[in-house]
Amino acid sequence: MKQTVQTLQQKKAQGEKLTMLTCYDYSMAKLMDGAGLDMLLVGDSLGNVILGYDDTIPVTMEDMIHHTAAVARGTREALVVADMPFLSYQTSTYDAVVNAGRLMKEGRAGAVKLEGGAAFCEQIAAIVRASIPVMAHLGMTPQSVHTLGGFKVQGKTMEAARKLLEDARAVEQAGAFAVVLECVPEKLAAYVTAQLHIPTIGIGAGAGCDGQVLVYQDMLGMFSDYCPKFVKRFADIGSAMQSAFRSYCTEVQMGQFPEKAYTYTIDDAIIEQLMQEDAQ
Ligand code: KIV
């Protein structure tokens, strides 16, 4: 069934959990879509896991459109959500609408995600007015890593917890259809979830959220630069891949690959004639 903002919100109303993973290319989109994921997030985390940057700051609109379009081509049922990269919406509501529009028009996203709460409600409302669904992102917001002072759990003090709740209510009021809560204490995330009509999607925010999201390279053991506490390894695909790469190297070096089964044939007479002609 094609997932839409409406079907996802119905799931929250019925107490059904929502599933989302990051996705950055066509082949992976086909696998995830076929597995029944509700949402595929083309996260600006591609700056880390695909492009090798230290953070998400350098990611451009062109990067996001390129990867979103690839994911959209491989997706039939899941809702494709594309991240708005750093400075694509912070600068003005005009920029926010134009760039969200590009992610939908050129990238074929079904929704966009942006980081921030009450301070970005004007942008959220303007994008929603342009008929583009918006997912908000609160708590640990990686684009603000330099003001947050690092990748840390958010909302732990009374003031910070109150602010998170206010921000969550504000983005709902502004028209966001869902909100990601990243690195937030479990009880706070559960309370915020209970206060909102829109679904919360947790990452490092405990089981009380309406849904969960992870970076797929983390949950498959394919990224080893760092591993946050909230990451559960569902498989060790990284080791399996490395072992296959080693076998490939050995077989090529030993002349074992490619075997006959993996090669194409040609009529011997053609090769003989070619050699004769070439010798003249
Ligand atoms: O960029 C991303 O992958 C994200 C998730 C971690 C929620 O924003």
Provide the pLDDT for residue 150.
87
Q: Is 180 in the pocket of ligand 1 (CB under 6 A)?
A: yes
Q: Compute, in angstroms, the gap from residue 114 CA to the centroid of ligand 1.
A: 10
Backbone phi, then psi, for 179, in 5-degree steps?
-145, 130
Q: Compute, in angstroms, the gap from residue 19 CA to the centroid of ligand 1.
A: 14
Residue 205 to residue 228: CA distance in whole angstroms: 12
Q: Compute, in angstroms, the gap from residue 44 CA to the centroid of ligand 1.
A: 6
Q: Is 32 in the pocket of ligand 1 (CB under 6 A)?
A: no
pLDDT at 226 over 90: no
Please compute the mean of the pLDDT values over residues 26-50 and round it to a whole number.
98
Q: Is 202 in the pocket of ligand 1 (CB under 6 A)?
A: no
Residues annotated as part of the active site: 182
Q: Is 63 in the pocket of ligand 1 (CB under 6 A)?
A: no
User: pTM of this prediction?
Assistant: 0.96
Q: Among the residues of the chain, which ranges form H helices?
A: 5-13, 26-34, 46-49, 61-73, 93-105, 121-129, 145-148, 158-174, 186-195, 216-219, 237-253, 268-279
Give the number of the atom of ligand 1 that is nearest the alpha carbon of residue 43: 1
Q: Is 110 in the pocket of ligand 1 (CB under 6 A)?
A: no
Q: Compute, in angstroms, the gap from residue 10 CA to the centroid of ligand 1.
A: 23
Q: Are 43 and 83 in contact (CB under 8 A)?
A: yes
> Could you report the per-residue pLDDT of 231-268, keeping only the tens digit for each?
999 999 999 999 999 999 999 999 999 999 999 999 99
> Could you report the per-residue pLDDT of 100-119, keeping only the tens digit for each?
999 999 999 999 999 999 99
> Which residue, judged by its Cα, is nearest atom 8 of ligand 1?
43
Residue 58 to residue 179: CA distance in whole angstroms: 24
